Amino acid sequence: NAGVTQTPKFQVLKTGQSMTLQCAQDMNHEYMSWYRQDPGMGLRLIHYSVGAGITDQGEVPNGYNVSRSTTEDFPLRLLSAAPSQTSVYFCASSSASGGAYNEQFFGPGTRLTVL
Amino acid sequence: SQKIEQNSEALNIQEGKTATLTCNYTNYSPAYLQWYRQDPGRGPVFLLLIRENEKEKRKERLKVTFDTTLKQSLFHITASQPADSATYLCALERSGGYQKVTFGTGTKLQVIP
């Protein structure tokens, strides 16, 4: 299993540009989440999904859109990039089997710089 | 407001000693508490999960305690090794509803040979 994969690894954008961060998992996990990690702030939840066709907002959703058309994929879209969105983005997935919110499996991250 | 606190200062210990990391929380009633390890440039990796009705959990050289009265979790690494050097994150998860996890900022551990 590849686990959770993310592309690209690095990206530089200009203010106002849009882009999509890709995330895929091959573990058939129901739950998928997007986090951003900034120095001194810890991981903050942007959006999450509990299954195909179901998404919800996390702690810092503004400026980001998500969709979940398949179990495997959970792309994150930046609508109009701003310097405040410079961060490292992590995608994570987990299984809800047994009724417990189990461990999350994280991807390697995308380092985004907005100029 | 809800708050999770981990010691932001790096923890330096000698190889072979026990490292103890602290995770404190306020205004929170977590159902689960998890510990993750994060190496530079990589995503976090799950280590241990402890439930609110559990006092202690062990896995090899790792031990986690969870005191809901003190609102604190301690994470211990016994017989520490330089390979244990990393940042350790605690994460709290509420019960019921959708998955929503709150992470602490992490504590950087440096094990000195």
pLDDT tens digits, A70-112: 999 999 999 999 999 999 999 999 887 644 457 889 999 999 9
Between chains, do B105 and A92 touch, taking CB under 8 Å as contact? Answer: no
Closest-CA distance of chain A to residue B81, Å? 24
Residues of A in contact with B89 (CB under 8 A): 42-43
pLDDT exceeds cutoff 90 at B95: no
A41 close to B (CB below 8 A)? yes
Tokens of A71: 């179990």
Closest-CA distance of chain B to residue A13, Å? 20
If pLDDT is split at 50, 70 and 90, which confidence band does B97 have?
low
pLDDT tens digits, B47-64: 999 988 898 999 999 999
Closest-CA distance of chain A to residue B101, Å? 8
Once rounded to an integer, what is the mean pLDDT over residues A40-62?
92
Q: What pLDDT does residue B51 have? A: 87
Distances (CA, A) of B43 to A81, A92, A103, B34: 23, 9, 13, 15
Residues of A in contact with B105 (CB under 8 A): 40-42
Residues of A in contact with B103 (CB under 8 A): 35, 42-44
Tokens of A58: 């996390």
Cα–Cα distance, B109 to B91 (Å, whole number): 17
Q: What pLDDT does residue B98 have? A: 52
Q: Is the peptide bond before A39 cis (omega within 30 degrees of 0)?
A: no
DSSP classification of residue A107: -
**Where is average pLDDT lowest: A59-68, B8-17, B22-31, B88-97?**
B88-97
Cα–Cα distance, B23 to B91 (Å, whole number): 9
Would you list the domain boundaries of chain B?
3-112
Q: What pLDDT does residue B43 have? A: 97
B106 close to A (CB below 8 A)? yes
Between chains, do B98 and A107 touch, taking CB under 8 Å as contact? Answer: no
Cα–Cα distance, A114 to B24 (Å, whole number): 34
pLDDT exceeds cutoff 90 at B99: no
Cα–Cα distance, B5 to B54 (Å, whole number): 21
CATH annotation of B3-112: 2.60.40.10
A4 close to B (CB below 8 A)? yes
Q: Cα angle at B8 between B112 and B19, to 5 degrees? A: 40
